[in-house]
Amino acid sequence: MITKLYGYIRPSSLLFYGSIFSFFFFLTGLFAPAFLTQVLNKVNQNLLTVFGTYYLWVGLITVIAAVVILFLPLRKQRLGDEKPAFSYFSWVALLYSTGMGSGLLLRAVQEPAYYLNNPPVATANNKVTALQYTFFHWGFTPWAMYSLFGLIVAYNLYVKKVPNLLDAIVPYTKSKMIKFIATLFIVLITITGVIASLGLGTAQVVNGIEYAFKVTYGTNFLLLMVVFIGIVATYSALTGINKVIKFLADFDFTFSIILMLFIGFFLNFNTFLYQTALAFYNYVIHFFEMSLSFGSYKTAPSFTQEWTVFYWAFWLAWVPFTGIFIARISKGRTIKEFLITTIFIPTLATVIWFSVFANAAFDIITTDDNTQFNDVFSSLFVFLEHFPFHYITFFIAGLLVLISIINSVDSAIFVLGMFSDNGNENPSKKHKLGWGFIITATALGLTAIGTSELLNGISNLLVIMALPFSFLYGYIIFMFFKNTIVKKKALSDRYKS
């Protein structure tokens, strides 16, 4: 039995393993929720403490590796022979909505306001530093983590023409055991991420609604929202990327821009431009110092662990399904085009986004009331209340958060379907339906049992699982460079001689 298990894996059996994994945490949450959250919190804190410096190096090396590829002849290689399936607008919209959509909305005000009130480093201008560290946590590093993994998968699928997705992740080994472990682990980390996203994201939407309309809903309403989002996300995944998923991403991206422009209308443009330009300049110039926390940008150990290291671990945990989804929607692009569009354009868009909301928030914050944006669930709505037509902007913001969550879940369902359906780029409806049911049912159960506390525990599990994945990711990057770049150069040099 063991030989059979490690020697060969039927992709369809991933549905079974995924359901067992989800059911295990559902049962643990049902009978021992306090124990589960306590253990996960403790393990998570210990790992972040012990591997803090390691995570900082992982983030920096990933960015360097991606930038190096941009200067190699390989950058001219096209990922497949087909024309791109999506316009630039839809391509970027899918990146935005799937990768960070809900996070950018919910952290738009809360995070820079926190840094303003609690400067990470000693500085002459707290506003600029607050922007700088917000750019740092949402800029080049997370997008490079997503992009590099997606590039490797896309290259193996569309250039090397490996048989399917399962082989595209670790094509450099003939060991079926390694391929089995890698595939199963990526499936489990994806399930964990999407369950946490669905459960916590729904709680955030409900909290926003409650604040906006000054009402209090019970647990039943929260559960109904989980079911609603799960059903819509599953339906979206069933229709395929070119239909509902693309439509929701385009809608989300368009109205996010409209909301940003509305807030931008009330800014002092000269102040906004000066603080944004200076913060971005400092971010780029001091990128290495910030990345490794040294010199004048050496932050307190508590800040490094609770913010930077936690963020890097969290982004790493989202790399598998986000990277694979990016690979899936990027067929036909050149590697140069791929890297620029999936790292630099999202980073610049993120810089503008946070700058608009943060600068507007800085104008509102006073020494007498500097905590009004502390709550991540309600900060955006508290902020919007300071502007005209706030009931309209409440509705738009809530809808955008909702759509972003749906897009994250439907993308994950689609990717999981690809895994279980033998790596098929367009998985069958039964596979997507199966994953949609598993994810929705598990998130529903965990929400009913322990609400946000238990779901926060699952988020900690996600960060914990990021550590072994980081080792796998490092191996994949190393083998990609060794087999794709070093060997090609050696062959080229031999040919010239």
The tens digit of pLDDT for each residue in 22-45 reads 888 778 777 877 788 888 888 988
For residues 425-436, average pLDDT:
91
Task: Flag whether pLDDT at 5 surpasses 70.
Answer: no
At 123, which helix (H) or strand (E)? Answer: none
**Mean pLDDT of all residues belonging to the chain:** 87
- Residue 214 backbone zone (phi > 0: left; psi -120 to 50: alpha; other: beta): left
pLDDT in tens, 7-20: 445 666 788 888 88
Q: Is 78 helix (H, G, I), strand (E, B) or coil?
A: strand
Q: Residue ranges per domain, the chain?
A: 11-488
- Greater confidence, 59 or 198? 59
pLDDT of residue 487: 63
- Greater confidence, 177 or 122? 122
pLDDT in tens, 264-316: 999 999 999 999 999 999 999 999 999 999 999 999 999 999 899 989 998 99
- Greater confidence, 23 or 77? 77
Lowest mean pLDDT among 135-144, 350-359, 483-492: 483-492
For residues 315-325, average pLDDT:
91
Lowest mean pLDDT among 155-159, 171-175, 346-350, 455-459: 455-459
Do residues 298 and 286 make contact, with C-beta atoms less than 8 angstroms apart?
A: no
The DSSP secondary structure of 315-347, one letter per residue, reads: HHHHHHHHHHHHHHH-TT-BHHHHHIIIIIHHH
pLDDT-derived band at 495, boundaries 50, 70, 90: very low
Task: Flag whether pLDDT at 494 surpasses 80.
Answer: no
Q: pTM score, two decimals?
A: 0.91
pLDDT-derived band at 452, boundaries 50, 70, 90: low
The DSSP secondary structure of 330-391, one letter per residue, reads: -TT-BHHHHHIIIIIHHHHHHHHHHHHHHHHHHHH--SSS--TT--TTTHHHHHHTTSTTHH
Task: Flag whether pLDDT at 174 surpasses 80.
Answer: no
- Greater confidence, 98 or 139? 139
Task: Flag whether pLDDT at 6 surpasses 50.
Answer: no
Question: Which top CATH class is 11-488?
Answer: mainly alpha
For residues 132-145, average pLDDT:
96
pLDDT-derived band at 454, boundaries 50, 70, 90: low
DSSP one-letter code for 425: S
Rounded-to-integer distance, Cα 449 and Cα 271, Å: 48
Rounded-to-integer distance, Cα 339 and Cα 324, Å: 14
